[in-house]
Amino acid sequence: MSFLDAILLGILQGASEFLPVSSSGHLVLAQHLLGDFKQPGVLFDVLLHIGSMVAVTIYFWRDLGGLISSLWRRDETAKQQRFMVWLLFAGSVPTAVIGLLFKDFFVGLFERPDIVCIMLLVTGSLLWLAERLRNREHSRKKMTFMDAIVVGAVQGCAIIPGISRSGSTIAALLLRGVDGETAARFSFLLALPAVFGAALLSVKDLDAIAAGSVFPYIAGTVASLVTGVLCIHLLMGIIRRQRLHWFAFYCWFVGGLGIIYFL
């Protein structure tokens, strides 16, 4: 993997992680087209996701600071923030269970660009349905434990490359009546423990990185971080304008083109 390949893949990850078009799916397609790309396990993919999650931490640092400090504060706002902490914990449980039980199956799909393309069609359909069926007039800002569990299960299934994690989780919350901005914030915050867990599982692959590949790995991670911050800001604006379905057309186009190419 060259230095330029790493940066390009980092930019691709940072953009597609937060824009609802499936970062893992785009990485699989890009790495397949590069031809000579190799990595130990899925370590490079995980590092790029870590870069994206640092972007989440930077963009939502006030939210995260409030959630952490709520554990010892006793004001009314802290009570609401502690409830959000419990919601994030509840949502993380089904994600962890699904990820651990089906880890080998999911990893195997990263070698199947044809499956990725089919899943992109699914992602596009989810985005279209969520935007068309959501109840804009009666959407709510408060979430329930059932919302968290449902979106956690959806996030677990989104490990399948081609299923957008952000797109599917936001779509699930929209269909459950949660307003767009609340759905997006919860989706991004819920990704943090999931990516942290994936990073722990990939630690064993660190020794397999060749000495000359260290800097490309770092460069890709930084590129993912910077692009991620910009794209979070972009997506939040798109959600406020209720234009999430725009990305459905893109997913359908790329998925359809890919099916023609790979099949």
Average pLDDT, the chain: 85
The burial class, CB within 10 Å (0-12 / 13-18 / 19+), for 19 is buried
pLDDT single digits (tens) 131-183: 888 877 778 889 999 999 999 999 999 989 899 989 999 999 999 999 989 99
Q: What is the pLDDT of residue 248?
A: 94
What's the pLDDT band for 199 if we cut at 50, 70, 90? low
**Mean of pLDDT values over 78-96:** 94
Q: Residue length, the chain? A: 263
Rounded Cα–Cα distance for residues 62 and 46 (Å): 25
| pLDDT tops 70 at residue 88 | yes
Structure tokens, 157: 């299934």
Q: What is the pLDDT of residue 120?
A: 94
Rounded Cα–Cα distance for residues 63 and 139 (Å): 21
**Mean of pLDDT values over 186-212:** 71
Residue with token string 């940066």: 7
Q: Within 10 A of 83 (CB to CB), how many other CB atoms are there? A: 14
Q: What is the pLDDT of residue 106?
A: 84
Rounded Cα–Cα distance for residues 52 and 151 (Å): 20
**Could you tell me which of 80, 57, 123 has the C-alpha nearest to residue 255?**
123
Q: What is the pLDDT of residue 27?
A: 78
The domain tally of the chain equals: 1
Q: What is the pLDDT of residue 149?
A: 96
**Mean of pLDDT values over 247-262:** 91
Dihedral of CA atoms 108, 112, 115, 117 in degrees, nearest 10, equals 140
Read off the pTM.
0.84
Contact in structure between 137 and 242 (CB atoms under 8 Å): no
Q: Which domain holds residue 184?
A: 3-262
Structure tokens, 70: 């709520």
pLDDT > 90 fraction of the chain, expressed in percent and rounded: 41
3-state secondary structure of 251: helix
3-state secondary structure of 178: strand
For the ranges 43-52, 137-146, 181-190, the one whose mean pLDDT is highest = 181-190
Contact in structure between 126 and 168 (CB atoms under 8 Å): yes
DSSP assigned state of 172: H
pLDDT > 70 fraction of the chain, expressed in percent and rounded: 90
| pLDDT tops 70 at residue 203 | no
Query: What HEC string does 89-153 produce?
Result: HHHHHHHHHHHHHCHHHHHHHCCCHHHHHHHHHHHHHHHHHHHHHCCCCCCECCCCHHHHHHHHH
For the ranges 39-43, 49-53, 108-112, 189-193, the one whose mean pLDDT is highest = 189-193
Rounded Cα–Cα distance for residues 198 and 3 (Å): 24
Name every residue whose Cβ is closer than 8 Å to that of residue 60 and which is 6 or more positions away in sequence.
185, 188, 189
pLDDT single digits (tens) 216-240: 888 888 998 999 999 999 999 988 8
Residue with token string 């083109």: 257
Q: Within 10 A of 258 (CB to CB), how many other CB atoms are there? A: 22
